Homo-oligomer: A and B are copies of this chain.
Amino acid sequence: MAKGRPRAFDMDEALDQALKLFWTKGYEGTSLSDLTQAMGISPPSLYAAFGNKEGLFRRALDRYMNEMSGVCGVLNAPTARGVAEAMLYGAADIDPENPPGCMLVQAALSCSDASEAVRQELIGRRKAGEDALTERFARAVREGDLPPTANPATLSRFLTAVVQGMAVHAASGVGREVLVDIAGATLQAWSALVDTGMSAQDRAAE
């Protein structure tokens, strides 16, 4: 079984503490002494378990994606509109247990050159989410749930932008009511977005 001295801290609990810090203060705003203090471990233990600060961040980020995000579940909603509803109200439903805002936006929207790899990782994860959403809307078109004239990429971009804007609002400390208001407004506009033949880009070009 286990050889050598057993680890004295719980891996998941420690990752949760690290995640909370990165989520609140961002990657660069969180120092190693912040981390060791909150995780209740010493620097050598941290480095033995996670390699370095960036390794710890990536593990915390994985945990964020697996635990928090109902993103996977969101895409399983039966209709495109249901997907939009789930995403928007998910973004509005801030849990007092967790930091406000979205980890993918909060952690490193800007940073020094030293952390560019982390920033790129977050950009990639945001793009992956948007791409998955685009594919979900394309499926909705194929299934007849959305009209053949609907533009999956445009819908996905728009919805992602609104959710990210809600994340900025949440990070600013606005209340749940404000976020629900934005979500509701977006849903109210949803059908007008769906029922068009041209992409908004094409319309603008005329």
Which listed segment binds B: A7-15, A61-69, A71-79, A106-114? Answer: A106-114
Cα distance A71–B159 in the bound complex, in angstroms: 24
Chain A residues touching B, majority SS: helix
Instruction: Quote the shortest CB–CB distance from A164 to chain B (angstroms).
Output: 4
Interface membership of chain A positions 159-182, coded 1 if the CB is closer than 8 angstroms to chain B and 0 otherwise: 011111111110111000110111
Interface residues in A, total, Cβ within 8 A: 61
- Copies of this protein, total: 2
Knowing A161-B166, A169-B161, A204-B180 are in contact, say whether A191-B192 is a contact too (CB < 8 A). Answer: yes
**In the complex, are the beta carbons of A178 and B204 less than 8 A apart?**
no
A52 at the interface (CB under 8 A from B): no
Cα distance A200–B115 in the bound complex, in angstroms: 40
A17 at the interface (CB under 8 A from B): no
Smallest Cβ-Cβ distance to A188: which chain B residue: B200
A135 at the interface (CB under 8 A from B): no
Residues of B within 8 A of A191 (CB): 192
Instruction: Quote the shortest CB–CB distance from A88 to chain B (angstroms).
Output: 10
